[in-house]
Structure 1
């Protein structure tokens, strides 16, 4: 039990915060839907409950991914978070379908809802709370990327560095971005339906919210499917190649892999050196490179091997050094 608690303390904090916020909002919106019968409110309820379930799963998955390697699983459990994210988006997909179905029913057979101020108050609370979680996720993304930002500047900067975000944080950011926009859409739709009599507005908003949820499903599913298979981090590959080449003893890089393992990176390198160097000297080179590479952000495992220089250049993949990693 102590080990489990220790792992849970390492879980992704934005996803846990988002899970509790969305659970509260889901219950609040459910009560509002019960009293008002508002279809846009139903869509928001489904969205919040789906996000809450998702984010609880993601928090647990991100915690379990920190479990240390074992003899049976020597590469560790980093990809567990990708597996959990894949399962989580299935929940969102089902709720997206239900949201679109109810919205389409409202468009084809519009009904009048009541409790205008109940709906608007609940939606306003939802927009505010979702915005707070969204900003926290944005700041977490920037923290992971080593970028500082204050106030509203964090949001556009987070978009620019979204590819560097941890899988769990990225999922929270995208879900709460859609949730905030969905709350605004629902708010506008409720006002429009009440003051213009265009009751289909609530159904249209529900369909649009469902489609945005499906977009998150598609993006997150594809990204985490690549993570489960084992995806190369191209930017870090290029950066690490530069670090290896910076050592004057390295004649060539025969093989270099930088594989994403959940939130971490595993590096495997086969380099060529002068065959006249002593074993002790080559071992010092290895120790030096190990220290440098393990100091790089997110790198948790490094394997380095050497071969004698054959006079043929094998490595020609080095491009311009990424600005963010200089």
Structure 2
């Protein structure tokens, strides 16, 4: 129970602190924020290794070159996620995050073969429906002070938040599938993955921040206003520590529970995560918004149930999917 609560708490903490920093109109140093988080995460696990609490393999240039594309995908995933979170409310962001599950499921079918059960298809339909309801509720929501988009959730295909969210779902799916392949080839453990992901992400994020972001004194003062500088810096540090907690608590939860329980916790965590946006940021509580949250929660439970049933011998409800031909083996 402690492991489960720790995993849920760390996930909520990081999302809320990131929203606090990114949700305002003026903060635009996203690459810098993500770089600080990676530095904090790397420094923390290095300190734990030095103290004898954990262990992971030493740096190897050959392995680093092979892992670098994975870290580049990670940067794309976390950057598009940070941009989406800057424009969207936490409930809407959380609901649309479910669509990543669909991308990953069909990505695995295309890359590894396999099938998608009818129950999984039902859960996918519920996920799409919940996202549609969330978007509809966002249309009806009046403008809120501090909305980064400045349009009160006016929905269109050109709305920046939804575009970034779509890109995040794609990047997330490609990252997960690519990392799954690379872990099998390198036999990386959890802390090995954490170490290389953060170490190789730092130079990418730092270069992107220096080249693509405005580091003029005026813009720095805009991002870190004198009357709110300490809370913003504190939130950035906390979000960096939360990234460590999520990685550790995920491994901890899997180790002390079953993979089925862990999957169920991930589905159940969608509800408190969405509610946290209503509590901490005074997002308006509407019938459409609450319905979307509830439906997204149910879709997660249905998907978890479908994954549990995949392990059973009966395959009568499986819809065969054809593996795409490839020109060479990965």
**TM-score > 0.5, shorter chain as reference:** no
Larger radius of gyration: 1
Q: TM-score range by the shorter chain?
A: under 0.3
Q: Considering fraction of residues, name the structure with more strand.
A: 1
Q: Considering fraction of residues, name the structure with more helix.
A: 2
- What's the TM-score once normalised by structure 1's chain length? 0.25
Q: Using CA pairs under 8 Å that are at least 6 residues apart, name the structure with larger relative contact order, 1 or 2.
A: 2
- What's the TM-score once normalised by structure 2's chain length? 0.25
